[in-house]
Amino acid sequence: MTPAPIALFAYNRPTHLARTLEALRDNPLAHESRLHIYSDGPKTSRDEPAVAQVRHIIRKTNGFAEVTIHEQTANMGLARSIIAGVTELSERYGSVIVLEDDLLVAPGFLTFMNQALVHYEHASRVMAISGYLFPVEHAEHLASTFFFSVPASWGWGTWHRAWKQLQHDSTQLLTGLREKSDQDRFDVDGAYPYFTQLKLQAAGKLDVWGVRWYATMFAAKGLCLYPGESLVQNIGMDGSGMHCNRSSQFDVCLSESAIWNFSDHIEESLAARNEIRSFFLRLGVYKHGSRIAELISGLRRVMGRMRRTVSPSLKQME
């Protein structure tokens, strides 16, 4: 079995990227995997030195079966970069594993992702695989692997058969969520303001890919497979990222697991939904959802040409 290609998206954080690459190389399957690194171009002249440092690192990258570098002259932004890169690789290879430049992965990450991608290759309802698991309070209630309706974006994978369904038009996606009951379920039973995110995307006040992917999956009754223990840790919640403030709310301990049970009973886990919903409620984001549009509009006026800044809790599923 040839491992799925890895798409790694990088911008202007060379120190984070170096740690991401080091952890990824520690995976036993790394030397068999094709790594595609997408380096976005600088937004302004101030970003040019950091982008240059990133490119110095990626041009020296080794430890993989093959390293292909995609360098952009202009800045595409994360959403466009991910959509383009995932589309390109999934079309060419049938499946893809996706990482960003601020993620540490456990040694078992590539093994888990590849085993899951093979096991559920033809299971049409399974549309994504996540390597990250939220720091839920009672992880002991979870199985070795489980299904949840909301996909995660920190170390994930998908197939061309699923990704080709991505609906880019947020307005069209909103039409499928007219019923209040659907909106509530989309928000994980009132725990997280995904519907608000989708409305902001449709209004041009956000530019994200994750909520469109989730809404696409929601419309198709798709599911995402998760591990019972997280195989990914985000190290970018340190105030250095384009879209995040400092936060430790999403910190996890990386799993040491090497064996997982992949069930053929493809239904959302109620226990997992309840645990993740409880985690979202502890974040306290949903109750502020009605103020998000006002906040972003105000920031856009104040910051002028600078891009919007929102809380890490709101942006974590981008």
| Average pLDDT value for the chain | 90
**Closest to 109 measured CA to CA, from 24, 10, 200, 225:** 24
**Average pLDDT value for residue range 18-42:** 98
CA 258: distance to chain centroid?
Answer: 22
Q: What is the pLDDT of residue 101?
A: 97
CATH code of the domain covering residue 38: 3.90.550.10
Q: What is the pLDDT of residue 238?
A: 60
Lookup result for tokens 């709310």: 249
Position 310 pLDDT exceeds 60: no
Phi (first) and psi of residue 156, to 5 degrees: -145, 175
Q: What domain range includes position 241?
A: 6-173+208-283
More confidently predicted of 308 and 186: 186
Q: What is the pLDDT of residue 247?
A: 54
Q: Note whether residue 19 is domain-resident.
A: yes
Query: Looking at the 3D structure of the chain, how many domains does it have?
Result: 1
| Tokens encoding 41 | 């171009």
Q: Note whether residue 292 is domain-resident.
A: no
Q: Note whether residue 132 is domain-resident.
A: yes
Q: What is the pLDDT of residue 248?
A: 82
Q: Note whether residue 302 is domain-resident.
A: no
Contact 20, 102 (CB under 8 A): yes
Q: Which band of pLDDT confidence, cut at 50, 70 and 90, is reported for residue 29?
A: very high
pTM summary value: 0.89
Please write the tens of the pLDDT for every residue from 240-286. Answer: 444 444 558 999 999 999 999 999 999 999 999 999 999 999 998 77
151-86-58-79 Cα dihedral, nearest 10 degrees: -70
Contact 90, 163 (CB under 8 A): yes
Half-sphere exposure of 184 (CA within 13 A, CB side): 4
Kindly list the distances between the CA atom of residue 188 and the CA atoms of 37, 67, 150, 290, in Å, as whole numbers in the listed order: 33, 39, 8, 16
Please write the tens of the pLDDT for every residue from 68-114. Answer: 999 999 999 999 999 999 999 999 999 999 999 999 999 999 999 99
Q: Note whether residue 309 is domain-resident.
A: no
Position 304 pLDDT exceeds 50: no
**Closest to 99 measured CA to CA, from 164, 33, 170:** 33
The Cα 275–Cα 269 span in angstroms is: 10
Please write the tens of the pLDDT for every residue from 3-25. Answer: 999 999 999 999 999 999 999 99
Q: What is the pLDDT of residue 287?
A: 62
Position 64 pLDDT exceeds 50: yes
Q: What is the pLDDT of residue 297?
A: 42
Q: Note whether residue 316 is domain-resident.
A: no
Question: In the 3-class helix/strand/coil scheme, how is the chain assigned residue by residue?
Answer: CCCCCEEEEECCCHHHHHHHHHHHHCCCCHHHCEEEEEECCCCCHHHHHHHHHHHHHHHCCCCCCEEEEEECCCCCCHHHHHHHHHHHHHHHHCEEEEEECCEEECCCHHHHHHHHHHHCCCCCCEEEEECCCCCCCCHHHCCCEEEECCCCCCCEEEEHHHHCCCCCCHHHHHHCCCCHHHHHHHCCCCCCCHHHHHHHHHCCCCCCCHHHHHHHHHHCCCEEEEECCCCEEECCCCCCCCCCCCCCCCCCCCCCCCCCCCCCCCCCCHHHHHHHHHHHHHHCCHHHHHHHHHHHHHHHHHHCCCCCCCCHHHHCCC
Position 26 pLDDT exceeds 60: yes
Residues forming a β-bridge with 94 = none
Q: Note whether residue 192 is domain-resident.
A: no
Q: Note whether residue 166 is domain-resident.
A: yes
Please write the tens of the pLDDT for every residue from 141-198. Answer: 999 999 999 999 999 999 999 999 999 999 999 999 999 999 999 999 999 999 999 9
Q: What is the pLDDT of residue 5?
A: 98
Q: Which band of pLDDT confidence, cut at 50, 70 and 90, is reported for residue 57?
A: very high
Half-sphere exposure of 275 (CA within 13 A, CB side): 21
Span of 30-39, 145-154, 213-222, 231-240 with lowest mean pLDDT = 231-240
Q: Which band of pLDDT confidence, cut at 50, 70 and 90, is reported for residue 291?
A: very low
